[in-house]
Amino acid sequence: MNVRVHEAKAAQALAVIDCDIHPAQRTPSDLHPYLPARWREHMTTFGAHLRHGLSAQLPFPRMVASGMRVDAFPDEGPPGSDLDLALGVARRLFETGRVPAEAAA
């Protein structure tokens, strides 16, 4: 028999499953351990050969902070390249609806 929700006694916590976060490599060379030497050399010399005229950036620069949360930038590398920071920001967001100043600093 189903327990009516309003009669449930146990403490409850909201579990959130975030279905879209974007990890990033800190530098392009972070991929090197996973690439054969031939492609490491190609990427280093010629780059990724993106299908537009600017080889290392978007041809549509985004708005504030390249379209990223300003509190998502680690000391080095792009947002998403520091897993602890990324998960910390995401967790605090869901727990409190905002990120405390110390997490953003």
Binding positions for other proteins, rule: CB under 8 A:
44-47, 49-57, 59-66
Counting Cβ atoms within 10 Å, is residue 32 exposed (0-12), middle (13-18) or buried (19+)? Answer: middle
Residues 6+ apart with CB under 8 A from 68: 78, 79
Q: Which is nearer to other proteins, 42 or 92 (CB)?
A: 42
Q: Which is nearer to other proteins, 9 or 52 (CB)?
A: 52
| Distance separating alpha carbons of residues 95 and 105, to the nearest angstrom | 18
Q: Which is nearer to other proteins, 4 or 51 (CB)?
A: 51
Q: How far is the CB of 14 from other proteins (least distance, A)?
A: 34
| Distance separating alpha carbons of residues 10 and 76, to the nearest angstrom | 44
Q: How far is the CB of 67 from other proteins (least distance, A)?
A: 8
Q: How far is the CB of 7 from other proteins (least distance, A)?
A: 53
